[in-house]
Structure 1
Amino acid sequence: MLSQAMIDRLNEQINLEMYSSHLYLQMSSWCAYKALEGCATFLSQHADEEMMHMRRLLNYLHETGALAVIGGMQAPPHYFSSLTELFEQIYEHEQSITRKINDLVHLANTEPDYSTLQFLQWYVAEQHQEEFLFKGILDKINLIGTEGQGIFFIDREVSNMAANKGKEATAMTAAQ
């Protein structure tokens, strides 16, 4: 049985994951508007992934007999001055999500709630991958630049990431 403090914090995380999905979907729309189709596809896929993260938490609460509470949320920003700014905001957002996951792990460890601690380990690993992914995109932007054809090459690089992510998702679905 989960403590009320843990239920409250998991519900907060559910809503943060839902916000993340909306944020990436809005960013995808901005990229499509700017004719950055590779980035738009990649961020749309990432929005779906964030929704899966939310559902995973939701299911965990259901499995433990707790009530999941879906709250309202602030609309994500819809305008970005540049692709660099957009990916910088994503990287900062992922770092804040990592801090929230770490806070959840700390709570689970101090209560102690070993079942939730075990459950959260997947999120710890996932957040490491998320930060690594978006830091890598920023590194490529800094390396290639966005002047002239640079933005075309960045969009193509991110498009390749989207294609690889799509292949991984197809392989996972086939394995199930």
Structure 2
Amino acid sequence: MLDKQMAQALNEQINKEMYSAYLYMSMSAYSSNMGLKGFANWFMVQYHEEMFHAMKIYEYVQRQGEEVKLEALQAPPAEFSSQLDMFTKTLAHEQFITSSINELMEMAQSKKDHATQIFLEWYVTEQVEEEENDNDIILQLKLIGDNAHALLMLDRELAARATTIPTDFSKGVEAAAKAAA
């Protein structure tokens, strides 16, 4: 069973992950409106990953005998100055999420909540990957600069990104992961 403070913090993290999904859906829509379907695809895949992250915590909180409490989400930005701007904002957001996960881990450690610590280890590792991916694309966008041909080449590359996690959580995250395997 979760400590009430830990449960509240995990509920807040669910909302942060849901906002992440909402942000990436907005970035996908913006990219699509610009005719950059590869960027739109990359951000839509990211949307699915963030929903998966939220649902894992959602189910963990419930399995630990606590109530999930969802809150209203803030509207994400709808316009960006460039693809570099989007990925710079993406990296900053992922760094914010990393900080939040680290705070959850510290709270679990202080409460000697070993189950939650083990659960959160997956998120710690995931955040390293998230930031690395964003940094890689930022470096490419800086190299591209104003070269439209190079931007279109990167767009084609990003179009190849596929969703590797389950997207149907109706029977639960674990069941979806097993079905997808």
TM-score > 0.5 by shorter chain:
yes
Q: Is the 8 A contact 1:146 1:154 kept in 2?
A: no
Query: Which residue in 2 is equivalent to 1:90?
Result: 90
Cα distance in 1 between the residues matched to 2:147 and 2:49: 31
Residues 1:45 and 2:60 aligned together: no
Amino acid in the other structure paired with 2:56: R
Q: How far is 1:174 from its partner?
A: 6.7
More helix by share: 1
1:105-155 C-alpha deviation (Å, 9 max, x unpaired)? 000011110000000000001001000011111011112224331221221
Query: Which residue in 2 is equivalent to 1:130?
Result: 130
Query: Which residue in 1 is equivalent to 2:59?
Result: 59
1:27-73 C-alpha deviation (Å, 9 max, x unpaired)? 00000000000010111111011001100000000100000101001
The correspondence of residues 21-170 of structure 1 with structure 2, limited to 5 A, is 21-160=21-160, 162=161, 165-166=162-163, 168-169=164-165
Query: Which residue in 2 is equivalent to 1:17?
Result: 17
Q: Is the 8 A contact 2:20 2:47 kept in 1?
A: yes
DSSP 3-state at the match of 1:149: helix
Cα distance in 2 between the residues matched to 1:54 and 1:114: 20
Cα distance in 1 between the residues matched to 2:180 and 2:33: 36
Amino acid in the other structure paired with 2:9: R
**Percent identity for Structure 1 against Structure 2:** 37
Q: Give the TM-score, by structure 2 length.
A: 0.89
Gaps of 5+ in 1: none
Amino acid in the other structure paired with 1:122: W
Amino acid in the other structure paired with 2:7: I
DSSP 3-state at the match of 2:10: helix
Q: Is the 8 A contact 2:21 2:46 kept in 1?
A: yes
1:76-105 C-alpha deviation (Å, 9 max, x unpaired)? 000001111011000000000000000000
Amino acid in the other structure paired with 1:87: F
C-alpha change, 1:39 and 1:134, in structure 2 (3 Å) is: same
Cα distance in 1 between the residues matched to 2:52 and 2:141: 28
C-alpha change, 1:67 and 1:87, in structure 2 (3 Å) is: same
